[in-house]
Amino acid sequence: MKLLFAATFALFVLSGFDQADSSAYDKIVAHSRIRAKKEGPNVCALQQVMGTKKKYFSTCRNWYQGAICGKKATVLYECCPGYMKLDGQRGCPAVAPIENVYGTLGLVKAKTTQEYSAISKLQPEIEGPGSYTFFAPSNDAWDLLDMETRNSLVSNVNIELYNALHYHMVNKRLLTKDLKNGMAPNSMYNGLKLLINHYSNGVVTVNCARIIHGNQVATNGVVHVIDRVITAIGNTIQNVIEVEDELSTLTTVATDAGLIDMLGEPGHYTLFAPTNDAFEKLDRVALDRLMKDKTALKALLNYHLLNSVQCSEAIMAGTSHETLEGSNIEIGCDGDSLTVNGIKMVLKKDIVTTNGVIHLIDQVLIPDSAKQVMELTGQSQAMFNEVMSMDQSFLRIILENHILKNKVVLSQLYNGQRLETVSGKFLRVFVYRTAVCIENACLIRGSKEGSNGALHLMKTLITPAESNMFQLLSKNGAFKIFLSLIEAAGLTDLLKQEGDFTLFAPTDEAFAGLNDRDLNLLKSNKNALRAILLYHVSNGVFIGGGLETGVTNLLRTLQGSNLKLLTLLYPEDLPAGSQDLLSLLKRIIRYIQIKGEPTITKVTRVIEGEPSIKKVTRVIEGQPSITKVTRVIEGAPAMTKVTRVIEGDPTFTKVFDDFDEDPEELTRYIQGGTRRRI
């Protein structure tokens, strides 16, 4: 009877938990249950990293990749928390018997913690009345503890071990849904804080130890099994770096940057702390420059800080995080190693403090904002060196066109802006939907801001405009016919005046299919010629790199119609004025279509003469059914037209009428199609 009551009570408790607001952990467990549905009731699917004992309720990302931290993971099936197997039945159909906290430790494979609770005299407390949360280290967690520390605990069971276990406890029941990210409940050891983090991927940590089996409900509380033994924390990040000899240079940097006090204030930080050896790897000149520049030094330190706690056990794949400096870094993992920006550099992880966590790294992370412009070139240095090897007089001209007097970052650029170079020239800025261009050159994504300037990577060398359209076309010599048409249409001043225009200028080759008579015909109708030429001019500057590829770019022309790039350069609906001119324009359109699609040949076969029409009669096999209808009409006969729709096989209806009138009149009636009295 007692067992039945306990099982009923457990079901009530668990169903009540399910109805409560679920957390990220609860959702991941629910998904694991769905994945294992075919294995039977209350079975959860987990992933285990090959070669380790690490098991995870996995996110969709890791599940479908079949890997965790870049290592292959196998799928295994276990009973979901709170359930157990029964002999001869599929899945986990039984609710685990509910015990007090002490008894639950044995059920959840935390035998070592149970034994230590007994010898430290904690057993009566967690068997008695009350409501507790016990973050119980697994058996493997105790094995991971260094032997010296473990022996010191066991040798002084009444004080050290008792206090250590009390630090793993909270004096109230806290389920995973109650463990909010960033909360710091008081432990039962002198009220010292525990640092709780609840991540979006379902991982829950306490002092960076991961809960591997959660929500093991007891009559007097709940047990969460964790993957390591936790120790009391009382120091801030500032306290730790100030007392660690290998972090003395970092302490100097934080002090000179004016940020040392911030590291001692309450918060939730992650510090990637470079060791002294990491700073020694830096170029001495660069390091001295940084130490003298407080702004750069502040940017440097903030680039190592996150405004969130990122424990190593919560990192299962590469994820981008914003630093306090404003730029992003990617934190990932490779097996048991943490990576920063894809590089294994973490020497020691998860140094937990009251205001965050510290990971020691063997490299200094330098943000763009702490670098000088010449240091920003990075992978572009090879091209830059090639430019620097040019003739000095020519090089001077190039550099004068590429260096501005003032620092301008990408977010400050706008369409129509004029930027002054060191030589006094002005460069125009053009902003498009998917590109930003300066004069003829467009920016490559990835502009960088340094401590003494900004670096914008360009697709080509910038060539400032020095001539108007008319001068350029005249000097080129390949646009003589086009310029003669411009002159005939009275549009020469348009190409000479100031403004922002885009001209699609046909070369003389484009007119190769036209003879003198055709050109004279074009010039004879000034209005039509102006319309054609104005259709080649758009109001606004459109750089080739600013136009989107793979789509039709619509540009409003001075003629009034939209210009569809890479299609017709003549509006088809424009009135021509004469049949000869219309024929000529159609030839031009056809030529432009062919020129615009050089890789496609469209052939239409034209058959001269009158088309022949063949009448096809469908032959339906089988004998038609004939319905004979005889209608007797008294008096003068009248004609009634009857249409009957018959589904299925066709039938014929023959109608007989007695007509006394002339057959010729009847024929006229049939051919005329109008109703009349015969």
Domain containing residue 77: CATH number: 2.30.180.10
Residue 94, φ and ψ in degrees, nearest 5: -105, 145
Q: Please name the amino acid found at residue 356.
A: G
Residue 316, φ and ψ in degrees, nearest 5: -115, -10
What's the per-residue H, E or C state across 265-288?
CCCCEEEEEECHHHHHCCCHHHHH
The pairing of strands 221-226 and 337-340 is unpaired
Indicate whether 363 and 407 sit together in one domain: no
Q: Please name the amino acid found at residue 611.
A: P
Task: Take residue 608 and report the two structure tokens written for it.
Answer: 């001269």
The answer to whether the Cα torsion of 293, 299, 302, 303 is positive or negative is negative
**Other CB atoms within 10 A of residue 617 CB:** 5
- pLDDT score recorded for residue 531: 87
Indicate whether 440 and 520 sit together in one domain: no
Indicate whether 164 and 27 sit together in one domain: yes
440, 463 contact by CB (below 8 A): yes
- Using CA atoms, how far residue 525 sits from 327, 518, 531, 592, in Å, is 62, 12, 10, 21
CA atoms of 669 and 327, how far apart (whole Å): 91
442, 429 contact by CB (below 8 A): no
167, 188 contact by CB (below 8 A): yes
CA atoms of 48 and 54, how far apart (whole Å): 6
Look at residues 596, 615, 645 and tell me which one is the last residue of a structural domain.
596
Strand ranges in 324-385 using DSSP code E only, listed in sequence order: 328-334, 337-340, 343-344, 346-353, 356-361
CA atoms of 220 and 170, how far apart (whole Å): 12
Mean pLDDT by 10-residue block, N- to C-terminus, for the chain (678 residues)?
42 43 87 92 93 85 85 92 90 91 93 96 95 97 91 86 96 96 95 96 96 94 96 94 95 94 96 96 88 91 96 92 94 91 93 96 89 64 55 69 83 88 88 88 77 76 85 88 89 87 87 85 86 87 81 83 62 51 58 45 47 51 52 48 46 43 46 44
Look at residues 226, 258, 284 and tell me which one is the last residue of a structural domain.
226
564, 538 contact by CB (below 8 A): no
Domain assignment of residue 603, yes or no: no
pTM: 0.67
Domain range for 494: 469-596
The answer to whether the Cα torsion of 637, 643, 645, 649 is positive or negative is positive
Q: Residue 50: left if φ>0, alpha if ψ -120 to 50, beta else—which one? A: beta
Indicate whether 175 and 51 sit together in one domain: yes
Indicate whether 26 and 58 sit together in one domain: yes
- pLDDT score recorded for residue 389: 59
Residue 313, φ and ψ in degrees, nearest 5: -70, -15
CA atoms of 595 and 591, how far apart (whole Å): 6
464, 383 contact by CB (below 8 A): no
The answer to whether the Cα torsion of 234, 238, 239, 241 is positive or negative is positive
Look at residues 182, 204, 226 and tell me which one is the last residue of a structural domain.
226
Domain assignment of residue 33, yes or no: yes
Indicate whether 439 and 303 sit together in one domain: no
CA atoms of 402 and 410, how far apart (whole Å): 15
- Nearest Cα neighbor of 367 from 319, 297, 455 is 297
341, 334 contact by CB (below 8 A): no
Domain assignment of residue 461, yes or no: no
Domain assignment of residue 464, yes or no: no
Provide the 3-class DSSP secondary structure of residue 114: helix
- pLDDT score recorded for residue 124: 96
Question: Would you give the end-to-end CA distance of the chain in angstroms?
Answer: 105
**Other CB atoms within 10 A of residue 539 CB:** 12
Indicate whether 213 and 253 sit together in one domain: no
Indicate whether 406 and 521 sit together in one domain: no
Domain assignment of residue 611, yes or no: no
- Nearest Cα neighbor of 99 from 108, 88, 86, 89 is 108
Indicate whether 13 and 80 sit together in one domain: yes
Indicate whether 176 and 241 sit together in one domain: no
Angle of helix 469-476 relative to helix 480-488, nearest 10 degrees, comes to 140
- pLDDT score recorded for residue 464: 84
Query: CB under 8 Å to 230, separation ≥6 — which residues?
Result: 135, 137, 167, 168, 194, 206, 207, 209, 352
317, 325 contact by CB (below 8 A): no
Query: CB under 8 Å to 626, separation ≥6 — which residues?
Result: 651, 652, 653, 654
- pLDDT score recorded for residue 214: 93
Task: Take residue 479 and report the two structure tokens written for it.
Answer: 């646009």
CA atoms of 559 and 573, how far apart (whole Å): 12
Task: Take residue 294 and report the two structure tokens written for it.
Answer: 């407080």
Query: CB under 8 Å to 150, separation ≥6 — which residues?
Result: 142
221, 130 contact by CB (below 8 A): yes
How far from chain centre, in Å, is Cα 152? 51
- Nearest Cα neighbor of 570 from 546, 602, 603, 536 is 536
Domain assignment of residue 650, yes or no: yes
Domain count, the chain: 5
- Nearest Cα neighbor of 317 from 182, 177, 202, 198 is 202
136, 216 contact by CB (below 8 A): no
**Other CB atoms within 10 A of residue 192 CB:** 16
Provide the 3-class DSSP secondary structure of residue 43: strand
Indicate whether 474 and 427 sit together in one domain: no
CA atoms of 156 and 478, how far apart (whole Å): 97
- pLDDT score recorded for residue 12: 42
Indicate whether 103 and 135 sit together in one domain: yes
- Nearest Cα neighbor of 29 from 16, 43, 17, 40 is 43
- pLDDT score recorded for residue 622: 55
Provide the 3-class DSSP secondary structure of residue 615: coil
The answer to whether the Cα torsion of 101, 103, 108, 112 is positive or negative is positive
Query: CB under 8 Å to 50, separation ≥6 — which residues?
Result: 71, 72, 73, 74
How far from chain centre, in Å, is Cα 318? 14
Summarize pLDDT for 107-128 with one digit per residue, the tens: 998 999 999 999 999 999 999 9
- pLDDT score recorded for residue 3: 41
Look-up: residue for tokens 């399910």? 18
- pLDDT score recorded for residue 657: 44
Q: Where are the alpha helices (DSSP H) in 86-230?
A: 101-107, 111-119, 123-127, 139-144, 147-155, 162-166
Domain assignment of residue 448, yes or no: yes
Number of residues written out for the chain: 678
Domain assignment of residue 192, yes or no: yes
- pLDDT score recorded for residue 519: 84
